[in-house]
Amino acid sequence: MVTSAHEGMHRIFQERPEIPAPVFGVLGVPLSAKATVDAVTTDVTEARPLERRVDTVLRIGPSDGEDFLLAIESQSGKVAGKEASWAYYVAYLQAKYGLPVLLLVVCQDRATAKWAAGPFDCGTRGWTALRTYPLVAGPDNLPMITDARTAGKNLALAVLSALAHARNVDCDAIMKAIVTALQVTRDTDPDTADYFFDFLEISLGGSPAGEKLREIMSFVSYFPGRGTVRETAYLEGKAEGRAAGRAEGEVKGILSVLEVRGIPVSDDVRERIASCADLELLDAWLERSRTVVRAEDLFAEGEGSV
């Protein structure tokens, strides 16, 4: 099942070109901060009816060596047979693009990270034909950033670290540090600050860190006047007689979530969302917007289709 956390753990690599370098630094793999980063199609389907897709594929252009592909998988638990899929991804991408391939698996718990590190062998009778060694980023090696200044120096790494430690007992300190860093960043780079806040709101979902984030924002608005779902839900939504304003805010929130997740929204879907004034229904659509594969899936479960 695709979840908000699953999407966030790999999409940050697609959308923030500054994130591979510090993550590689944590993993002990040298990579220039000036390396170019370009998204590559994630479809590795070779023949129907079997369809395969990597979560994220990037083409990395180091300033000090040859280009390579980075296949990124977000993994929330041990899945039988997944290691075979990973070996296939590496072999297929190498054959298709003629470039070296590295596999990075991003995890939120230690047990999954330990399993994902492999190595995974394919062979028999004492002979190994293929061995897969994934790079793994998770709670054990991604730093737990609880200092606002440290978070502000590398927001992308701080956000990824927050996702990896979303279930940690110290998530309160982590979220306080990030929110403070985003508040400072917004004074000089509001677009980056707004992006990361939206990203966290979507990706953390109902995790302990996500609950803490919503708790912080229920008392203090660090991003006033934006009309987002968080501001509307916690501030305007509590004011008597502001139902219309809340509905408008939730409409913006649903569309913002879909946009951040990279899901296309047709004119018909946009019109249906924008014309809805039912707060209960908008709440349901907002919740579904975090996990749906298509925008039309918002209207599932008896709500009809577009």
Model pLDDT, residue 43: 64
Is residue 257 in a domain?
yes
Rounded Cα distance between 221 and 189, Å, is: 17
- Are 92 and 213 found together in one domain? no
From the centroid of its chain, how far is CA 208?
16
Model pLDDT, residue 15: 76
- Are 20 and 51 found together in one domain? yes
Is residue 143 in a domain?
no
Rounded Cα distance between 64 and 209, Å, is: 38
Is residue 304 in a domain?
no
Higher-confidence residue: 190 or 135? 135
pTM for the complete prediction? 0.62
Higher-confidence residue: 270 or 186? 270
- Are 66 and 125 found together in one domain? yes
C-alpha torsion angle, residues 209, 212, 214, 215 (rounded to 10): 180
Is residue 291 in a domain?
yes
Structure tokens at 194: 């707004």
Q: Which of 113, 137, 161 is the last residue of a domain?
A: 137
Is residue 123 in a domain?
yes
pLDDT tens figures, 26-56 = 888 777 777 777 777 666 555 444 456 788 8
Rounded Cα distance between 158 and 146, Å, is: 9
Mean pLDDT over 50-74 rounds to 84
- Are 67 and 195 found together in one domain? no
Query: Closest Cα to residue 107, out of 71, 72, 58, 158?
Result: 72
Report the number of distinct structural domains present in the chain.
2
- Are 110 and 52 found together in one domain? yes
User: Do residues 178 and 159 make contact, with C-beta atoms less than 8 angstroms apart?
Assistant: yes
User: Do residues 145 and 161 make contact, with C-beta atoms less than 8 angstroms apart?
Assistant: yes
Q: Considering only CA atoms, give the Rg of the chain.
A: 21
Top mean-pLDDT range of 34-43, 126-135, 288-297: 126-135
Rounded Cα distance between 105 and 43, Å, is: 17
Q: Ramachandran region of residue 147, left (φ > 0), alpha (ψ -120 to 50) or beta? A: beta
- Are 158 and 130 found together in one domain? no
Confidence of residue 219 (pLDDT cuts 50, 70, 90): low
- Are 70 and 201 found together in one domain? no
Domain holding 170, by residue range, is 148-299
Q: Which of 100, 117, 137 is the last residue of a domain?
A: 137
Residue 19 DSSP class: S
- Are 294 and 167 found together in one domain? yes
Q: Which of 137, 169, 187 is the last residue of a domain?
A: 137
Is residue 286 in a domain?
yes
The chain-wide mean pLDDT, for the chain, equals 79
For residue 29, what is the domain's CATH number? 3.40.1350
H helices within the chain, ranges in order? 4-15, 20-27, 82-97, 110-116, 148-153, 155-164, 171-188, 190-204, 208-219, 229-234, 243-260, 267-274, 279-289
Rounded Cα distance between 116 and 76, Å, is: 10
- Are 295 and 189 found together in one domain? yes
Residue 53 DSSP class: B
From the centroid of its chain, how far is CA 48?
29
Is residue 68 in a domain?
yes
User: Do residues 181 and 155 make contact, with C-beta atoms less than 8 angstroms apart?
Assistant: yes
Mean pLDDT over 148-155 rounds to 89
- Are 54 and 162 found together in one domain? no
Is residue 306 in a domain?
no
Rounded Cα distance between 73 and 54, Å, is: 7
- Are 195 and 214 found together in one domain? yes
- Are 116 and 154 found together in one domain? no
Judge whether residue 20 has pLDDT over 50: yes
Model pLDDT, residue 198: 82
